[in-house]
C-alpha cells in the first residue's frame, strides 16, 4: 500500500493530539508543516523531526507531493483552508468544529463533493483500542440495544 504524505497546518496545541495517530499509521507520514508563528513552527519541526516547514499554508496546499492536509488552526480559519485543500485535490482532516457556521460547513461539504476527496473531522478517541472494543461488543449485541452511552 502507498504511504500517504501529510501536511499539517497549525502547529499549536491540538496538533499534539493528532501526531500520535499519524506516527502509528503505517499508511501515512507527516512530511511538512505550516504555521504563521515561525517560532512555534520551528519548535514543532524539531520535536517531530520535520524539516519541510513554511509560514505559508498555501505552500502545503499546492504541494503536489502532499496527499492529506491536517488542519489544526482556530476554527474561524477551517473553511477557507479546507476548501482550498479540497479544490487542490487533497484529502482533509479538520479539527472540530468544522466551521463556525452551518453555511461554511455546507461550503466545505460542497467542495468535498466536487473534489471526490475525503473530508473528516477529528474524532481522536473513536479509533482507540478501547473504543473499538466497545463498538465490537455493541455490534455483537453483548450489551443489548444501546441507545445512549456516556463516559
Reading the chain (151 residues) residue by residue, the pLDDT tens digits are 789 999 999 998 899 889 988 998 999 999 999 999 999 999 999 999 999 999 999 999 999 999 999 999 999 999 999 999 999 999 999 999 999 999 999 999 999 999 999 999 987 676 677 878 888 999 999 989 988 887 6
Stated pTM of the model: 0.85
Predicted pLDDT of residue 148: 86
Q: What is the pLDDT of residue 134?
A: 86
**33: enclosing H helix or E strand:** strand 28-34
In the structure grid, which three cell numbers stand for residue 75, read together?
476554527
Fold of 4-125: Rossmann fold (3.40.50)
Q: What is the pLDDT of residue 40?
A: 96
Work out the widest C-alpha separation in the chain, in whole angstroms.
52
Q: How far is the first Cα of the chain from the last one, in angstroms, to the nearest whole number?
A: 36
- Identify the CA nearest to 114 among candidates 84, 93, 81, 71: 84
pLDDT of residue 29: 97
All three cell numbers of 20, joined, read 500520535
Residue 127 has a pLDDT of: 66
Other residues' Cβ atoms within 10 Å of the Cβ of residue 87: 13
Query: Interhelix angle for 78-87 vs 102-115, to 10°?
Result: 10
Phi-psi region of 141 (alpha: psi -120 to 50; beta: other; left: phi over 0): left
Amino acid at each position: 500500500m502507498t504511504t500517504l504524505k501529510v501536511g499539517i497546518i497549525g502547529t499549536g496545541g491540538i496538533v499534539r493530539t493528532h501526531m500520535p495517530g499519524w506516527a502509528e499509521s503505517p499508511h501515512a507520514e507527516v512530511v511538512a508543516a505550516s504555521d504563521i508563528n515561525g517560532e512555534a513552527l520551528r519548535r514543532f519541526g524539531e520535536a517531530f523531526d520535520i524539516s519541510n516547514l513554511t509560514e505559508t499554508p498555501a505552500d502545503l496546499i499546492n504541494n503536489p507531493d502532499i496527499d492529506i492536509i491536517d488542519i489544526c488552526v482556530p476554527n474561524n480559519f477551517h473553511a477557507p483552508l479546507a476548501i482550498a485543500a479540497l479544490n487542490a485535490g487533497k484529502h482533509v482532516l479538520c479539527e472540530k468544529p468544522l466551521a463556525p457556521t452551518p453555511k461554511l460547513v455546507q461550503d466545505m461539504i460542497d467542495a468535498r463533493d466536487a473534489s471526490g476527496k475525503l473530508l473528516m473531522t477529528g474524532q481522536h478517541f473513536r479509533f482507540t483500542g478501547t473504543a473499538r472494543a466497545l463498538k465490537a461488543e455493541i455490534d455483537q449485541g453483548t450489551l443489548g440495544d444501546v441507545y445512549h452511552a456516556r463516559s
